[in-house]
Structures are given as structure tokens and as C-alpha cells.
Chain A
Amino acid sequence: MNFAIVVHGAPYSSEACLSALKFAKAVLASGHSINRVFFYHDGVHTANSLIAPPQDEAPVSEQWQEFGTGNNIELIACIASCLRRGILDETEADRYEKSASNLAPGFTISGLGQLIDASINADRVVTFGV
């Protein structure tokens, strides 16, 4: 069975991206597959490379990076949500003449079409909202 996972919440502001990661790991451990993980609304903050939590707090963004890269799973951050919230890759930083880019490795900025495509093609869609 193939799952699409949607994440609406930012690290620390909600539990959504933590719960979604645990769910995603359980999906793979159960022998199922993940179509892609789509970060929307404040969920795109998960893709911020500048997050530097204290040592004794779960580095959720980093954990997502390791999960995506380690399991070859697409972690997509919605471009419209990203631009509103200041999560930029190099292309967008150049386009909007911003001083820096901050998209974390393992994440890709893309459009809402990726959410719809995943929703159509996956067997199940599970949203972790706020």
C-alpha cells in the first residue's frame, strides 16, 4: 500500500511534523511505501536549514532530512507556502533578490500539483494538521 503524507505544522508550534515522522517511519517499517511527503501551510518551516534546537530537544527538521535522504523519499515543501514564510532555495532567493537561501538538504520546493498528484495516486492520504 502506498501512502501520501501531508504536514501542516511547523516544528515546535505543533506536534504535526513530529507525529507525521513517526507515522512515516511506521509506514515503511510495516512494509508499505510512501508516495511523497508534502509540507503545506506552516509545515514548510520543517524545511528550514537554520533550525538549531537545544541539544536535549528532538531535532525534527534534521530527522526528516535523514529520513527522506536515507529512504529516498520526496519531501516537498509547497512553493507558495515557502515564499510567504521565508523558506527559499537558491533559485527563489535569487529570483526574489533575498540575501540567503535556507532550504534544508533533502527537501525540494515545488507546487501544489505535487500534493494533488500524490493524493490521486497514493492508496491513502493522511494529513497531520494544526
Chain B
Amino acid sequence: MRSILFVFSRPPHGSINAQEGLDALLMGSAFTTCSVLFVGDGLMQLVAGQSTDDLGTKNFSLSFGALKDYGVTRIVCSKPDLLARGLNKDDFLIEVESLNAAAMQAFIRNHDKVLNF
């Protein structure tokens, strides 16, 4: 089966793009093998405790808990970018693997296609 790697590099809420990226991942996982790699400010999408009630936008971070149920194979983030932002995986609302650069390069190579958001 063809595999698609979704790469998320944007922080949440500053624009709708991060949410629309997640929509694409959820659609993708209905069709074929999909994984997701969070890099750069994309890691911020995973931060726990997001509360958008007062902002009035959708708290789409709540959907990350369902990624495994949707069949997303691996949920991965950049270890260097995690460290650079002073974050650790305990700050995240779901369990995420963190990869170093070499492992991320291999991870990207192991998928048929890449969709960047």
C-alpha cells in the first residue's frame, strides 16, 4: 500500500492552516497508510492544555487523541526542534516518538509521498 508522510510545520491557531493540515491527515488515513512528522513550530500543535473557548476558534488539538484510532501509523516529532524550543514530550497531549536528524531522514525516505502543511 502506498504511504504518505504528512509534515506539519506550523503552529496552531495563528491561521487555519494547521487545522486544515490535520483534516488532510485524517482524510489520508481513511485511504492509505499515513504517518505524521511534526517539525519546527509544528510541535506547538501538540502542546497540552490548549483552550480556545474565549478565542472562539476550534480546539482541533483534541482530535490528536484519535489519530491512532484513525489508523495513523506513526506520530513522530523532531528531537532537535523539541530541545530548541525547551519542550519535552511531557508537555504534549499525546504520546509522540522523537527522532534525531538521521532517523528523520530515514523516516522521510521510507514513505512514498510527502505532503507538507
A interface residues (Cβ-Cβ under 8 A, vs B): 6, 8, 40-41, 80-81, 84, 111-113, 115-117, 119-120, 122, 125, 127, 129
Contacts and interface: CB of A to CB of B under 8 A. Distances in A.
B113 A40 contact: no
A4 B117 CA distance: 16
A125 B113 contact: yes
Interface in B58-117: 112-117
B28 interface: yes
Query: On chain B, which size bracket covers the interface?
Result: 10 to 19
**Shortest beta-carbon contacts, A-B, top 10:** A112-B27, A116-B31, A120-B2, A116-B28, A125-B113, A119-B113, A41-B17, A127-B116, A116-B27, A120-B32
Nearest to A78: B20
B48 interface: no
Interface of B: 2, 4, 16-17, 20, 23-24, 27-28, 30-32, 112-117
A81 B21 CA distance: 11
A116 B32 CA distance: 9
A129 B116 contact: yes
A8 B63 CA distance: 23
Nearest to B31: A116
A117 B115 contact: no
Nearest to A115: B24
Contact of A113 (B20, B27, B115): B27
Contact of A112 (B24, B32, B116): B24
